[in-house]
Structure 1
Amino acid sequence: MFGSEVAMPVPLLPQAILFAAMGGLSAVLANRGVAIFHDGLRPILPSYKAGNVDTKSIRRTSFTLGLGFLWAFGLPFSLGHAIPMLYLIFIATDYIGVAMRTTHDEAWYKSRRGLFGVLSSFVLGAAWSAAVAVVLRLASDLMAAAPIEMARTVQLITQPALEAFFLFAVLTVFYHYGLKQGLCSAIVATAVWAAAATLGLPYPPAWAFGAGLVYLVVLVVRESRRPGNEFGDVPPEWLTDEAGSGSVQNAPDEDDFFRKNTGRIKRNLPLIIVIHALAGAAYNLGYMASDPISASLYLHGMAIPAALAAAAWFLAFVPMKYTTAVMTGVWILTGTSLEPSIAMLMPNPWVAAGAVAVFRVIEVFSLLWFFKNLDRFTVVREIADTMRTAIFHVMEIAFLAGGAMAAAAFAGGWGVAAVIGAWFINQRSNAPVMPMALGAVTAIGVGIIANLLALVGVSL
């Protein structure tokens, strides 16, 4: 059996304790500049640690970068009987960690400022994260008890995405290789979907995704074997000698810089292992999820499809995340990696914690090798960038449709019209709400309005 059975609502006390442990430790790692969750904040950490960016500036940057993800993406997909998004914890603990004044030129325990930074980060990070568990439970209970039930209805928001996530691979082929190959990919995925449905195999979209992904991999391998694109044929400029002979040389300055950065990550490996082991247990128990699609699939007992959906995010983001880790010496705090997929396939949280910990050790020690080979194999970066675009486009449209479905359940045709109207307003207002979250935010707003009207005897 894959994964743990998720019971909703989850036990509050264990969830709060696990959230507090993860939140406190993640805030400490952010405070020490060891690991950061938000991709946009990670590149700033070296300048901050060197004293070129002050605490006030990085605090403001962290708040600006993270606020939208916190309220417009993390919150709406976590409300009701749903597995909470990790954004609610780690976006905030990034801010808490960098907001607490500290010193980076000596060990934290050797100065009052460093000691204060670590202790205050841990306490505030733990308090915030435990409060997230409590508030989400209260919100779920309130939504379940509302005149127009909301707690389970909000699950409709992710429903279209559960059927359409196989398009992550198919649209990547469309965007990168053009219409002809895209149509072939769509036909192959559809044929596999039909075969799975005919044979009575569980969850045909997962089989279609696998087929689309295999088709994509075949195209990538073919492209990499073309003259000039073959793996290792075109080493980066800093690996070749000035005479242009093409022989690989050592680049002492840059190579030493990368080794120092990865060495810094390795020195902090014990703490990194601990927080990722805790995250592995949380993923396995259904206490936390990395994205709405895998969360919904896992909630319904479909661990393998959930792992596949989470793996798509890994493929789309890993080149960028590994590159920033090597370039900055700041580790990628839990999130878009294979760890959710690994954890959801394990039989219990203890095995999940151990498996994720082992994976992280392997990942850290292979980081520099992976980074150098990414520079040689540029098609991987290009495909990852394209897949990110495909994922965002699928989720934007699917969640908008799902938001309309949920809004219709709350307020009939008026709810659907509200979602459509919100989309036009958001477009004309330079997208103050991120497009992926607009359907969810609007649907929840419609549900609140419908319930307030129902309290005074008005229905929509």
Structure 2
Amino acid sequence: MLEALLLIGLGIVTATMANLGIAVFNDGLRPIVPENLEGRMSRKELGVTAFAMSFGLVIGYGIPISISGSILLIHSILLGTDIIGLSFKRGKLSTAAAGALGGVYGAGIYFGLQAVVKAFEMLPLNFIDGFNKIGEPVVVSFMVFPALAIALQFSIKKGVIAFLVAALARQLVVFSNTKGLIQIDGTPVVLSPEGIALIVGMAFLITFAMKEKSEDQSLSTLASMFTDRVTRIKKFSWIVMISGGLAAAATNLLLIAGDPISLSLLADGKISEGGIASLAKAIGFVPLIASTAIATGVFGPVGFTFVFGVGIFSPNPLVAALLGALVIFLEIQLLSKMAKFLDRYPGIRASGESIRTSMTRVLEVALLIGGANAANAIVPGLGYFGIAGFYLLNEAAGRPIVRMAVGPVGAIAVGILGNILVLLGLYTPPQ
């Protein structure tokens, strides 16, 4: 009951915030919302845009990954409430209706996912176990994104250096764990190889970005031009705090996760590693979320996404909710100082887009490999054939399905096809 109430509450609050233009989850929508708030775009156009930008990601990305780990990827919920909130006109009754529908959507996602998983388990060919392989390459591949971001923003040479040092750090941690070199009171300490590699890569990225320093104070565009928009975000901080608290509490219960990497780790019972990955991802996204929030006056319903790490490391849901709300409050209060910092270090501000691009590319590759492995585990031989064909035909058709979704959706399609073959007597699952 608590889990369902948390998702219903999260759906109500986030759909309401989207409707009022206070906060939206899709980074691409954030710069568009002010166009409607300031009268340059109709509400109908905004709703259609939100649907076009988010619906495919909900169906093809959020839900399949949620099924693979039996933990809800936050995109499944918040991209949906973006669509709901922005599709309704602003007004007392319509805003209330948007919030109510957001709550219904949250309940539908919670109970619907359970029903889908149970339905899959009843099929003659249960492909849930094979489907879980989708997340395996994601965890290892994720540590590449800082090196790729460096290569995109600075130079391929610097990217290669960061990649090699991060890879070396990973292997040193593997060696240390194997030999038990790090101990506390005689007890070996096991570190996360991928987590350490990620930290090393992020250290390189931040170091290179901070070398680009602006000495011309007249260029302080964020801090000086968007004071009113930062003030608007602070005005509505209380409702964003509620959203952050609900998200942190739900994460503490392992009900939701903020990204596919931490979701895969949490699904495998690697709580600490999942928390580290979640915090590293949040650090990487600060420049992008902060700069778009400052420039538009529209925040994110989970802030800079640190609330997920807070939820993972909290001892219980109540503490997670309180800390999550506090973290959102501090993030909003620090926006003005962040604007000055981003103006002072333009390399950090510019890194937001390169980080987003690199994460997207890494996930595209990792989820395609994971989808292929899952599909082949479900129906050996046919699985690789199906994913390869699905990917290439999707590209030839102009990419109607985003690349990140091809692996998970393809694996589901192979699973359904495998069940049809079993029913027709054309395939016998291995015992």
The TM-score, its normalising length taken from structure 2, stands at 0.90
* 1:121-140 to 2 correspondences below 5 Å: 121-140=98-117
1:317 positional shift: 2.8
Look up the match of 1:458: 426
Q: Alignment partner for residue 313 of structure 1, among 254, 269, 281?
A: 281
Look up the match of 1:157: 134
1:219 positional shift: 3.5
Look up the match of 1:107: none
Q: Which has the higher mean CA deviation after the structures are superposed, 358-367 or 181-190?
A: 181-190
Q: Distance in 1 between matches of 2:277 and 2:255?
A: 18
Q: Does 1:211 align with 2:179?
A: no
Q: Does 1:194 align with 2:176?
A: no
Distance of aligned partners of 1:72 and 1:198 in 2 relative to their CA distance in 1, 3 Å threshold: same
* 1:350-389 to 2 correspondences below 5 Å: 350-389=318-357
Distance of aligned partners of 1:297 and 1:186 in 2 relative to their CA distance in 1, 3 Å threshold: same
Is the CA contact 2:170–2:194 (under 8 Å) kept in the aligned structure 1?
yes
| Unaligned residue ranges in structure 2 (runs of 5+) | 178-189
Q: Alignment partner for residue 35 of structure 1, among 19, 23, 44?
A: 23
Q: Which has the higher mean CA deviation after the structures are superposed, 208-217 or 414-423?
A: 208-217
| Unaligned residue ranges in structure 1 (runs of 5+) | 1-12, 103-113, 240-250
Q: Distance in 2 between matches of 1:38 and 1:238?
A: 26
1:327 positional shift: 2.0
Is the CA contact 1:284–1:348 (under 8 Å) kept in the aligned structure 2?
yes
> Any idea what the Cα deviations from partners look like across 1:217-272, whole Å, max 9, x if unmatched?
34444xx1xxxx43x51334367xxxxxxxxxxx9xx83x6222122211212111
1:402 positional shift: 0.8
Look up the match of 1:48: 36
Q: Distance in 1 between matches of 2:163 and 2:235?
A: 46
Q: Alignment partner for residue 12 of structure 2, among 6, 24, 39?
A: 24
* 1:48-197 to 2 correspondences below 5 Å: 48-102=36-90, 114-197=91-174
Secondary structure of 1:331 counterpart: coil
How many percent identity over aligned positions? 29
Is the CA contact 1:147–1:451 (under 8 Å) kept in the aligned structure 2?
yes
1:65 positional shift: 1.3
Distance of aligned partners of 1:395 and 1:129 in 2 relative to their CA distance in 1, 3 Å threshold: same
**CA RMSD in angstroms, aligned pairs only:** 2.1
Question: Number of matched residues?
Answer: 416
Q: Does 1:296 align with 2:264?
A: yes
Q: Which amino acid aligns with 2:134?
A: I
* 1:226-241 to 2 correspondences below 5 Å: 229-230=212-213, 232-237=214-219
Q: Which amino acid aligns with 2:376?
A: A
1:86 positional shift: 1.4
Look up the match of 2:182: none
Q: Alignment partner for residue 374 of structure 2, among 394, 399, 406?
A: 406
Is the CA contact 1:316–1:385 (under 8 Å) kept in the aligned structure 2?
no
Is the CA contact 2:249–2:317 (under 8 Å) kept in the aligned structure 1?
yes
Is the CA contact 1:80–1:140 (under 8 Å) kept in the aligned structure 2?
no
Distance of aligned partners of 1:335 and 1:396 in 2 relative to their CA distance in 1, 3 Å threshold: farther
* 1:371-450 to 2 correspondences below 5 Å: 371-450=339-418
Is the CA contact 2:265–2:273 (under 8 Å) kept in the aligned structure 1?
yes
Tell me which structure has the larger Cα radius of gyration: 1
Is the CA contact 1:86–1:335 (under 8 Å) kept in the aligned structure 2?
no
Q: Alignment partner for residue 231 of structure 2, among 249, 263, 273?
A: 263
Q: Distance in 1 between matches of 2:156 and 2:68?
A: 40
1:202 positional shift: 4.1
Q: Distance in 1 between matches of 2:34 and 2:164?
A: 47
Secondary structure of 1:43 counterpart: coil
Q: Distance in 2 between matches of 1:95 and 1:276?
A: 19
Is the CA contact 1:236–1:375 (under 8 Å) kept in the aligned structure 2?
no
1:335 positional shift: 6.5
Q: Distance in 2 between matches of 1:384 and 1:459?
A: 48
Secondary structure of 2:73 counterpart: coil
Q: Which has the higher mean CA deviation after the structures are superposed, 210-219 or 390-399?
A: 210-219
Q: Which amino acid aligns with 2:215?
A: D
Q: Which has the higher mean CA deviation after the structures are superposed, 38-47 or 406-415?
A: 38-47
Q: Distance in 2 between matches of 1:367 and 1:342?
A: 20
The TM-score, its normalising length taken from structure 1, stands at 0.85
Distance of aligned partners of 1:215 and 1:119 in 2 relative to their CA distance in 1, 3 Å threshold: closer
> Any idea what the Cα deviations from partners look like across 1:20-47, whole Å, max 9, x if unmatched?
1110111111222221122222223223
Higher helix share: 2
Q: Distance in 1 between matches of 2:134 and 2:340?
A: 41
1:351 positional shift: 1.7
Is the CA contact 2:35–2:41 (under 8 Å) kept in the aligned structure 1?
yes
Is the CA contact 1:157–1:405 (under 8 Å) kept in the aligned structure 2?
yes
Secondary structure of 1:286 counterpart: coil
Look up the match of 1:111: none
Q: Which amino acid aligns with 1:387?
A: I
